[in-house]
Amino acid sequence: MWKTWIFCIVLGALIVAAAAYQVSRSRSFQLFGEIVAWVETDQKVIALTFDDGPTAAHTAATLQMLRDAEATATFFLVGQSIDAQQSETRAIINAGHEIGNHSWSHPRLMLMSRSRIKSEIERTDTAIRDAGYTGPIPFRPPFGKKLVMLPLYLASENRPTIMWDMEPDGHADLANDPDAYAAHVIETARPGSILLMHTMFSTNQTARDALPAILTGLQNNGYEFVTVSALLDLATAP
């Protein structure tokens, strides 16, 4: 009999753990506050988002590709990288892009205390403002991970969690093939999509090689690039 009880308790704990894991990584569901993976709109608009950095090595190249396509994007920057790469940060701001908050040290925030979460986020907001940026600052959790405390904190600040509905880096078969990587993005884009890329990250040469084709391919299909905040404003009222 006790074996059955232990079995039930272990099974129950496993189910709770599996559910918590699914909630922590879901792109479109969280327990509190608003989460945005894409926006419902009938306009052909897409938000390009670049996570992590800025880096000394690859920020200028990313900015140049965007400039060549006259595209606007949102950069989710890490506070300590802003601190370390101040001229790259200012170059992104001066190019007219939106700056998002991606935490101070890129930790997994999902099991952290409220005070640590608050410090990770507010310190980064301050670094973004100190760099001279005056626009809206959307927030995206590192690794897209959140569970209870982070959504609670963001809800209390009236700040949505910005996720994504397109993540070409998540497809192993595209990892070494820029043409396939670009084609995948162009084929799967839909009005209101949020595209996640890491072109400032050193290991992501495929994404850098694919970016020009992505930009022209989507523009040829009639898409316009907007910041995350502009995309939220374009959401069709329910």
Rounded CA gap, 141 and 39, in Å? 18
Task: Decide if 168 contacts 19 (C-beta within 8 A).
Answer: no
Name the minimum Å distance from CB 109 to Zn ion: 11
Name the minimum Å distance from CB 190 to Zn ion: 23
**Residue 88 is a binding residue for Zn ion (CB under 5 A):** no
CA 220 vs CA 34, 47, 153, 186, 195: distances in Å: 32, 16, 41, 10, 17
Among residues 172, 171, 166, 199, the alpha carbon closest in space to that of 185 is found at 166
- Our CB check for Zn ion shows the closer of 162 and 231 to be 162
The kind and range of the H/E element at 23 are: helix 2-25
Annotate each residue in 124-163 with x if it binds Zn ion (CB under 5 A) or - if it does not, as one string.
------------------x---------------------
Name the minimum Å distance from CB 111 to Zn ion: 17
**Residue 165 is a binding residue for Zn ion (CB under 5 A):** no
End-to-end CA distance of the chain: 53
Window 30 to 59, contacts with Zn ion (CB under 5 A) = 51-52
- Our CB check for Zn ion shows the closer of 52 and 88 to be 52
Question: Closest residue (Cβ) to Zn ion?
Answer: 51
Positions in the binding site for Zn ion (CB under 5 A): 51-52, 142
